[in-house]
C-alpha cells in the first residue's frame, strides 16, 4: 500500500457523499500518492463536476488529474484507464445491485473485481480506519504456489494498512465441515479437520508473525464466516484474495470476494496473486 504512487478514484456524479473520494483522499495523504479522478460516462459532460472536486483537493496540496471516459462498460472503462495511467489502486464506492438483476446479469463491481490487474478497494462506509480492526481472510488449507503468494499479499496489505491506520490486523481462516464421503479420512471427522487446519495455521502464523489473539480458525463456509467475523470484530476493512475465476466455473461457483461484497459492513480490499495480475494485464493489453 505504501508503494502505491497513483490512485484511480471512480467518481459518481449522482452520489454527492463521494465515499470513494473521501477514502482515497485519506490514503493519498499518508502515502503521498497522485489522485486520478474518473467519471465513467459516454453521454454527459462532467468536466465542471470533476474540476470542482479537483480544485478542492489541489488547495489541500494533493496532486490531481481528471478524466471522463467510456470503453464499452463501466468495468472495462475503469480497467482501461487504470492501465493507461499506471494506477496501483482502484477506489470505488460499492452500490448493491437488486437481487433479481444480480441473478440475471453479472454486476459491474463483480466484473471489476475479477478482471482488474490492480487491487480494488470497494468503499462501503464513512467510518474512520484509524485505530480500527483490519480483517484479512486466508485459506491456509490451500497451499499451492498461487495461493501461498495470494496469502502473503493479503497479510502484507493488511499489515501495511494496520500500520498506516494505527490499527490491529486480525487473520481469519475457514475450514470445511466433516464430509463422510471424503476420500481422505482426515476430512470425515471434525476434530481431525480442525487439528489439520490448526497445524497449517501455526506454520502460517509463524511465517507472518501473527499473535495468537489475532488468529481466528473457524469451521464453515468462507462466504458466511467472513461477514460474521468482520461484524463480530467490528472490522473497518476486510481484505480478501481472489484467483479471478472466470467462465463457467466463475458462473457456477462464484468468487468469495464477490459473494460477500454485499453482506460485509466494512470497506473491502480485493487483491490477487502476482501471476494472476500478469495474465490479466496481458488480456487487457489485447483488447
Residues of the chain above pLDDT 90, percent: 50
Give the Cβ contact number of residue 97 at 10 Å: 17
Start-end of CATH 3.40.50.620 domains in the chain:
6-93
Identify the band that residue 245 occupies on the pLDDT scale cut at 50, 70 and 90.
low
Pairing state of beta strands 89-93 and 6-10? parallel
The whole-number pLDDT of residue 2 equals 53
- Taking 60 as the threshold, does the pLDDT of residue 281 lie above it? no
C-alpha–C-alpha distance, residues 157 and 88, integer Å? 13
C-alpha–C-alpha distance, residues 280 and 117, integer Å? 6
DSSP state of 187: G
Start-end of CATH 3.40.50.12370 domains in the chain:
133-286
Sheet holding 133-138, edge to edge: 64-69, 34-40, 6-10, 89-93, 120-123, 267-271, 237-241, 133-138, 168-175, 215-219
- Give the mean pLDDT of the chain: 83
What is the CATH topology of the domain spanning 133-286? Rossmann fold (3.40.50)
Taking a C-beta distance cutoff of 8 angstroms, is the pair 272, 242 a contact? yes
| Torsion angles phi and psi, residue 69, rounded to 5 | -150, 165
Q: 149 or 262, which is more confident? A: 262
| Mean pLDDT confidence for 246-272 | 73
Give the Cβ contact number of residue 181 at 10 Å: 6
Taking a C-beta distance cutoff of 8 angstroms, is the pair 6, 38 a contact? no
Residue (of 54, 160, 72) closest to 115 by Cα position: 72
The whole-number pLDDT of residue 249 equals 39
pLDDT tens readout for residues 56-100: 999 999 999 999 999 999 999 999 999 999 999 999 999 887 766
What is the CATH topology of the domain spanning 6-93? Rossmann fold (3.40.50)
Amino acid at each position: 500500500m505504501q508503494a502505491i504512487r497513483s490512485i484511480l478514484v471512480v467518481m459518481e456524479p449522482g452520489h454527492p457523499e463521494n465515499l470513494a473520494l473521501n477514502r482515497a483522499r485519506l490514503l493519498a495523504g499518508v502515502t503521498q500518492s497522485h489522485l486520478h479522478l474518473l467519471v465513467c460516462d459516454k453521454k454527459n459532460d462532467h468536466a465542471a463536476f470533476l474540476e470542482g472536486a479537483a480544485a478542492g483537493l489541489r488547495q489541500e496540496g494533493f496532486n490531481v488529474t481528471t478524466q471522463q471516459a467510456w470503453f464499452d462498460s463501466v468495468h472495462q472503462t475503469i480497467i482501461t484507464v487504470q492501465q493507461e495511467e499506471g494506477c496501483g489502486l482502484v477506489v470505488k464506492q460499492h452500490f448493491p445491485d437488486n437481487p433479481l438483476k444480480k441473478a440475471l446479469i453479472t454486476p459491474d463491481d463483480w466484473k471489476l473485481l475479477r478482471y482488474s490487474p490492480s487491487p480494488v478497494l470497494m468503499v462501503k462506509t464513512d467510518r474512520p480506519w484509524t485505530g480500527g480492526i483490519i480483517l484479512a481472510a486466508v485459506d491456509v488449507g490451500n497451499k499451492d504456489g498461487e495461493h501461498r503468494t495470494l496469502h502473503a499479499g493479503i497479510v502484507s496489505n493488511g499489515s501495511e494498512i494496520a500500520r498506516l491506520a494505527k490499527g490491529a490486523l486480525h487473520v481469519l481462516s475457514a475450514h470445511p465441515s466433516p464430509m463422510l464421503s471424503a476420500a481422505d479420512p482426515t476430512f470425515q471427522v471434525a476434530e481431525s479437520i480442525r487439528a489439520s487446519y490448526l497445524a497449517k495455521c501455526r506454520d502460517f502464523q509463524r511465517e507472518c508473525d501473527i499473535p495468537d489473539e489475532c488468529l481466528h480458525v473457524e469451521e464453515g463456509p468462507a462466504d458466511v464466516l467472513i461477514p460474521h467475523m468482520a461484524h463480530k470484530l467490528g472490522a473497518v476493512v476486510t481484505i480478501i484474495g481472489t484467483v479471478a475465476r472466470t467462465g463457467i466455473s466463475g458462473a457456477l461457483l462464484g468468487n468469495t470476494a464477490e459473494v460477500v461484497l454485499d453482506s460485509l459492513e466494512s470497506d473491502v480490499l480485493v487483491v490477487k496473486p502476482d501471476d494472476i495480475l500478469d495474465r490479466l494485464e496481458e488480456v487487457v493489453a489485447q483488447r
